[in-house]
């Protein structure tokens, strides 16, 4: 049996992914996004994964998490724009990985937003 070396997203990965179609104030276009769902889900869920977009145009949004220095992407993670997408159909491409502390900060904000913490 030959093992597959195909990329499967893991939490903390930043990928390029297409957010179109969009509407209203949702992020659009091909852009970086942080992966939040576990590898086991991403592998076995009909290719779905949970993402938050990253933008270079940060503002005064209390749900933004600053991407730390020293990684291949700059900007802020929009923790209030959680989206489940088919990462294969949207051609997700690995860009870099973020530190666990950044992932935890995003998940903490989502927990507060969804009132699950």
pTM for the model: 0.90
Say if 17 falls within a structural domain.
yes
Say if 25 falls within a structural domain.
yes
Domain ranges, residue 83: 13-113
State the pLDDT at residue 5.
67
Q: How far is CA 37 from CA 25, 45, 58, 63, 101, in A?
A: 23, 11, 24, 18, 16
Say if 64 falls within a structural domain.
yes
Q: Which of 39, 113, 104, 58 is nearest to 82 (CA)?
A: 113
Tens of pLDDT, residues 38-57: 999 999 988 999 999 999 98
Tally of structural domains, the chain: 1
Say if 70 falls within a structural domain.
yes
Quick check: 63 pLDDT over 80?
yes
Say if 108 falls within a structural domain.
yes
Q: What distance in Å separates the CA atoms of residue 29 and residue 105, rounded to the nearest whole number?
A: 25
Tens of pLDDT, residues 85-117: 999 999 999 999 999 999 999 999 999 999 986
Confidence of residue 62 (pLDDT cuts 50, 70, 90): very high
CATH number at residue 38: 2.30.30.110
Say if 89 falls within a structural domain.
yes
First-to-last alpha carbon distance for the chain, in angstroms, is 43
Say if 1 falls within a structural domain.
no
Full 3-state SS string of the chain: CCCCCCCCCCCCEEEEEECCCCCCCCCCCEEEEEECCCHHHHHHCCCEEEEEEEECCCCCCCCEEECCCCCCCCCEEECCCCEEEECCCCCCEEEEECCHHHHHHHHHHHHHHCCCC
């Amino acid at each position: 049996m030959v093992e597959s070396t195909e990329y499967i997203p893991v939490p903390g990965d930043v990928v390029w992914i297409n957010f179109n179609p969009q509407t209203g104030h949702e992020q659009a276009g091909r852009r970086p996004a942080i992966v939040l769902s576990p590898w086991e889900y991403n592998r076995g869920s009909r290719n779905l994964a949970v993402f938050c977009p990253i933008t270079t145009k940060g503002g005064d949004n209390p749900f933004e998490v600053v991407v730390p220095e020293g990684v291949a992407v700059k900007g802020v993670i929009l923790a209030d724009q959680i989206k489940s997408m088919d990462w294969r159909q949207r051609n997700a491409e690995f860009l870099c990985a973020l530190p666990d502390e950044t992932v935890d900060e995003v998940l903490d904000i989502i927990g507060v937003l969804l009132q699950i913490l």
